[in-house]
Amino acid sequence: MRLRPKKRRLQDVSPDRSGLDVAYWESHDEELLSAGLGTMARRLPTLVAAAFRLAWRANRRDTAVALGGNLLAGFFTAFGLLATSDVLSPLFAGGPTPGRVRAALLALLLVVLAAGLRGTLLVAAGWAQARLKPQVERHAETRLFELTTQVELTAFDDHDFHNAMRRARDNGVPDTATVVEMTVSAVTGVVGVVAPAVALGLMHPILMPLLLVTAVPAGYTALRTARLRYEAFYRLSTARRRKFMLSDLMAERQPAAEVRAFTLRTFLLEEYDRVAEQEQQVQLETARHQTAAKASGDLLTGTATVAVYCALGGLLVGGMIPLAMATAAVLAIRAGQSSLTALMQTVNRLYEAGLYFGDYLSFRELAAARIRSPRGTALPAPFQRLTAEKVSFTYPGASEPALSDVSVTVARGEVIALVGENGSGKTTFAKLLAGLYRPGKGTIHWDDTDLAELDGDTLRQRISVIAQDHTRWPLTVRENIVMGRPVDDDRLVGAAAAAGADQVIADLPRGYDALLDRRFRGGHDLSGGQWQRIAAARGFYRDAALVIFDEPTSALDARAEHALFERIRRHADGRTVILITHRLASVRFADRIYVLEHGRIAEQGDHGELMNHGGLYAELYRLQASAYQEAP
């Protein structure tokens, strides 16, 4: 089915260079694509050096063998070519044939020996090169994930960060190994060209520059076509991310039910087609430019080759070189040109891989800049008092602050409730208290220590956050509760019971070992409420001084909800609790309730005080309570 791109109504659209409708969030930043051919050529040595440092770290021996083997093989190539001339000279000389063959034998033996050594070295280098590739890739990928799991949370709200990460992950990582591989091949290629060039130079000085002249148009074409391909890739990076996202929506399990329930098929296919059309236009344009560049490059290379053969013919006719040497020269030219073609293909791939690898390196810098510098890594003692003072926070790119001048004090062992209408800033504040975001203004103190001075990971060993949009980890039940902490079976069973997850687990055929992912054989899925119980069990498993429950009961049945709030009422076994909920009947027992409105604290006090105050809380509470009053 061919679907026409539809006119869009719901979002801003404008035509891009190819005349296609492009939503504002799909446009790319042309300025970032500023590195021209010259800049890139200057950058290439740095990139190659960086790739080799990476390869060296991945495996020293394989790196040394791959590089050294190719270099030595090149030496034997040159040697073999020169020895060929020594074989041909006696063969082309006068006298009886057996005598001429005998005279050529020693040189022939050397040619065979050089070819044998060259072959052996190339096999060893090739093996090392093949071994190096997966090691380099793994090293590069691990480094990438070390960074992505460390960057501050706000990075994930940043479009440029996402684009850079996607480019680094999808092309940068695999091309790191390609840069290494192609550099080694380029060394082989250069040696493969230089060896016959030197051999030709020794035969007659004019032959060497002529051979190298043929390299210029071929080299330029190789770089130009690689550049065109990269430009297309860069321009399409946002569109491609959108395409991947759409393909996930159409082919993944999780949205499959809603795609059908909302009869989204046609809409998604049309949207996919629109993005694919954009991609195709850019690809066709690129193919046209590449063909033109290649045709003109081939024409120039052909002309240069003819010139080389004419020069050789001239030398032979003019008696400046003997026939045997001219024959060896033809062999050297053929060898040089085939090495040259291979070298140009290698340079093409090296240049292109270098561009992607450059993206990988830039992303590493970008990500490293978004990692908070390590601070005090000592685990803070459980606090006596957690104090937020005049805290404000604005999400990156947002025009309005999500929080303004919020001051809250929580004493050890208290249960504090945050309530307020949707979007009033409750979750944002909880994330600030957990050190996941840093306040734009104001401070949060863990006793006397500013949270900004504490290492985030260390701090969060003391904090448990049960997020509203908790992740359904595709792991076993045990891993879903333990979440990377050391396994303590008693604690695990206790946490599951406290969250009401014990019965859910007992009903699973493999109990704690059941895999909670239907996409794998024997995997299970749970209902929304059952998942929420598992998430709550995570909160109880951690030995945390502060537990933040963000809407912990939104999917629970009445009995489970009551049981969980009872648990929290009993101060969650001595922990300090910050509870975010819209179920106001459940916050009556809280030591203090903060009512947020448009990112500010509108009211605070216990249930009785707030009801007497007769403000927003009282209004919301009465509204909810009225729904439960029996009709007369």
State how far the Cα of 366 lies from the Cα of 155, in Å rounded to an integer: 10
Closest CB to ligand ATP among 273 and 550?
Answer: 550
Closest CB to ligand ATP among 31 and 469?
Answer: 469
Closest CB to ligand ATP among 240 and 426?
Answer: 426
Nearest 10 degrees: CA dihedral of 268, 270, 271, 277?
A: 140
Q: In the structure encoding, which two tokens stand for residue 275, read together? A: 């993005």
Residue 375 CB, nearest approach to ligand ATP (Å):
24
Residue 400 CB, nearest approach to ligand ATP (Å):
7
Residue 154 CB, nearest approach to ligand ATP (Å):
8
Closest CB to ligand ATP among 359 and 550?
Answer: 550
Residue 435 CB, nearest approach to ligand ATP (Å):
16
In DSSP terms, which residues pair with 464 in a beta bridge? 547
Closest CB to ligand ATP among 155 and 402?
Answer: 402
> Which secondary-structure segment (H or E) carries 23?
strand 21-23
Indicate the length of the chain as a whole number: 632
State how far the Cα of 255 lies from the Cα of 267, in Å rounded to an integer: 14
State how far the Cα of 592 lies from the Cα of 503, in Å rounded to an integer: 33
Phi, psi of 483 (to 5 degrees): 50, 55
Residue 157 CB, nearest approach to ligand ATP (Å):
5
Closest CB to ligand ATP among 296 and 554?
Answer: 554
Measured from the Cβ of residue 29, the count of other Cβ atoms closer than 10 Å reads: 13
Closest CB to ligand ATP among 147 and 402?
Answer: 402
Q: In the structure encoding, which two tokens stand for residue 277, read together? A: 């059309």
Residue 428 CB, nearest approach to ligand ATP (Å):
3
Closest CB to ligand ATP among 34 and 422?
Answer: 422
> Which secondary-structure segment (H or E) carries 449?
strand 449-450
Closest CB to ligand ATP among 339 and 428?
Answer: 428
List, in sequence order, the alpha helices (H) in 435-557: 456-459, 477-482, 489-498, 502-506, 528-541
State how far the Cα of 603 lies from the Cα of 187, in Å rounded to an integer: 72
Binding footprint of ligand ATP on the chain (CB under 6 A): 157, 395, 398, 402, 420, 422-428, 468
b/e map 10-23, b = 16+ CB within 10 Å: eeebeebeeebbbb
Contacting residues for 349 by C-beta, under 8 A, at least 6 apart: 178, 182, 226
Residue 151 CB, nearest approach to ligand ATP (Å):
14
State how far the Cα of 577 lies from the Cα of 259, in Å rounded to an integer: 38
Residue 244 CB, nearest approach to ligand ATP (Å):
21
Per residue, what are the HEC states of 542-603?
Answer: CCCCEEEEECCCCCCCHHHHHHHHHHHHCHHHHCEEEEECCCHHHHCCCCEEEEEECCEEEE
Closest CB to ligand ATP among 346 and 532?
Answer: 532
Closest CB to ligand ATP among 336 and 420?
Answer: 420
Residue 390 CB, nearest approach to ligand ATP (Å):
18
Give DSSP secondary structure letters for 277-343: HHHHHHHHHHHHHHHHHHHHHHHHHHHHHHHHHHHHHHHHHTTSS-HHHHHHHHHHHHHHHHHHHHH
